[in-house]
Structure 1
């Protein structure tokens, strides 16, 4: 399943860059490498795919990704109509441990300002928002 997820990442993120200008796949691989279970690794690789690309749930399913992973990815996909706080609260209310554990590592990496070439005030505001979310989620982390 990890290989299928990695193939999707290669297809959908191959030309994308992160805020620091680095290949976006580096972020996805970092998150994958810093979660524990195979299930978490699959979700880690795919956690941004529905939010940052045009792939649909059906296309992910047709690629052979199982519903348990897709459900976690959907939880981790911020809806355009929700605020960041609403998004984090939705993850918490879901009680989906795969989503919670992956989001914690995602936030840890997103808070690493060393990834940016220049740190702006906007970056600092975003980092503060990430730290608040991290502090809400961290007590919910469980080993699967």
Structure 2
């Protein structure tokens, strides 16, 4: 946590306001704002994280916050973060997203409150609340419904309907990649220096889903496959389309003694999964309920470009 005179005043006020309050698992409620504050870099963001619930849950007012020396920027963000119950939830989120301090704290708040592992018992309303939080994260740009590449978009569908996912930019500088050893690789035995033009990890959260739900990584890259491979960790395919190559790597992990061998999902064909166990019962370990998918692309259709993209989508980083 960033410690300044202002953040220490905010911390003391946070602990005083939430004294005696417990969360849904009977832990001190103040642990939540402190957890958010630990993720902030700036003074204003830290103060807002610590105090983000004192107006809504503890009856404090802007005047109270002025009284402990909070800045105008902090009070403005806290006012935006205080949900007026007459305003629909997603409208409230849209209203605050243009304030950078409020947006940063709200994203951290939603991420923490989406962790069902915090709950000893998960009820249907908790799962529905998670779905609402995922929609709010889309509004704030912390989740997405598609990844746009030069070859077209990648989306996630659940039972044929669009489904949001976390999108992590993994685009890197130049690196040396090892050759692929899967079927279809055309440059075995060589070491290649290069980098993709773009690389992203999609994280598909399965906790709101039910046994039998089908998850598809959907795209329109066609059938011109220039490289592919698989092992016990990942299946990947590299497509040539629109004067570039684009690779999609889907997590598998078939090792019987690995934690993922007992995860909530299972591969169901190329770039498809099915929910085979209740995801909520696997909520304590992210690897068991979050499906990672890698997408990478590079302009050009030569074998070296395909090898670089195949390495990033297939072997690198898993």
Give the TM-score taking structure 1 as reference length. 0.90
SS at the partner of 2:83? coil
Correspondence 1:46-65 to 2 at 5 A? 46-65=51-70
Q: Which residue of 1 aligns with 2:109?
A: 106
Q: Which runs of 5+ in 1 are unaligned?
A: none
Following the alignment from structure 1 to structure 2, what is the Cα–Cα distance between the partners of residues 135 and 36? 23
1:8-38 CA-to-partner distances (Å, cap 9, x unmatched) read 1111101111223221111001110112222
Q: Which has the larger radius of gyration?
A: 2
2:14 pairs with 1:14:
no
Among 32, 41, 45, the alignment partner of 2:37 is 32
**Structure 2 residue 134 is matched with structure 1 residue 134:** no
Q: Matched residue of 1:79: which SS?
A: coil
Shift of 1:138: 2.8
Paired residues, what number? 138
Listed one character per residue, the Cα deviations across residues 55-98 of structure 1 (whole Å, up to 9, x for unaligned) are: 11101111111111010000000012112112111112xx1100
Q: For residues 21 and 114 of structure 1, what CA distance do their matches in structure 2 show?
A: 14
Q: 2:125 aligns with which of 112, 122, 126?
A: 122
| Structure 2 CA distance for aligned equivalents of residues 35 and 138 of structure 1 | 18
2:90 alignment partner in structure 1: 85
C-alpha displacement of 1:3: 0.5
Pick one of 23, 27, 33 that aligns with 2:28.
23
Alignment RMSD, CA only? 1.4
- For residue 79 of structure 2, the aligned residue among 47, 62, 74 is 74
Separation (CA, whole Å) in 2 of partners of 1:33 and 1:22 = 18
Between Structure 1 and Structure 2, which shows a larger proportion of strand residues? 2
Structure 1 residue 126: Cα displacement: 0.4
Tell me, in whole angstroms, the C-alpha distance in 2 between the residues paired with 1:113 and 1:139.
Answer: 18
Distance 1:24 1:125 in 2: 22
Aligned-pair CA distance for 1:139: 5.1
Superposition TM-score, scaled by structure 2 size: 0.42
Structure 2: runs of 5+ lacking an equivalent: 1-5, 144-318
